Structure 1
């Protein structure tokens, strides 16, 4: 079964890092409404655009989602 984007994103959490993806992961972890079971790009993107003031740029999400897709293909 394919893991959700959230499950993948949690692998990028790193409390000692100031990298944008690590900060995105940490903030998503604190976001109680984040769609934790979702795998669809459009649904996650729409959620983030409307609800994630903690994400300074959607490019961060786009890059993380691409990594998510790449790891799923392996």
Structure 2
């Protein structure tokens, strides 16, 4: 199986402090989340974490969109 970068690593490429884009804002906030599962690739693992711990994420649909961008980039 080919190497696939973690979702967090992908998400960090989406950061832009000057953007109003929801995914960019998610990335900006996740950067400061010390307990974010930084090695995770699995949707369920990350989703469960965010639902319980990410008060900075106003809607899980933002995560869903970001995760789809991640899958598209990883060609999965």
Q: Same fold (TM over 0.5)?
A: yes
In the alignment of these two chains, the number of paired residues is 74
User: CA RMSD for the aligned pairs?
Assistant: 1.0
Structure 2 spans left out of the alignment, 5+ residues = none
Between structures 1 and 2, the one with greater helix share: 1
Structure 1 stretches of at least 4 aligned residues deviating more than 4 Å after TM superposition: none
| TM-score relative to the length of structure 1 | 0.97
Of 56, 59, 69 in structure 1, the residue corresponding to residue 58 of structure 2 is: 56
Structure 1 spans left out of the alignment, 5+ residues = none
Structure 1 partner of 2:44: 42
| TM-score relative to the length of structure 2 | 0.94
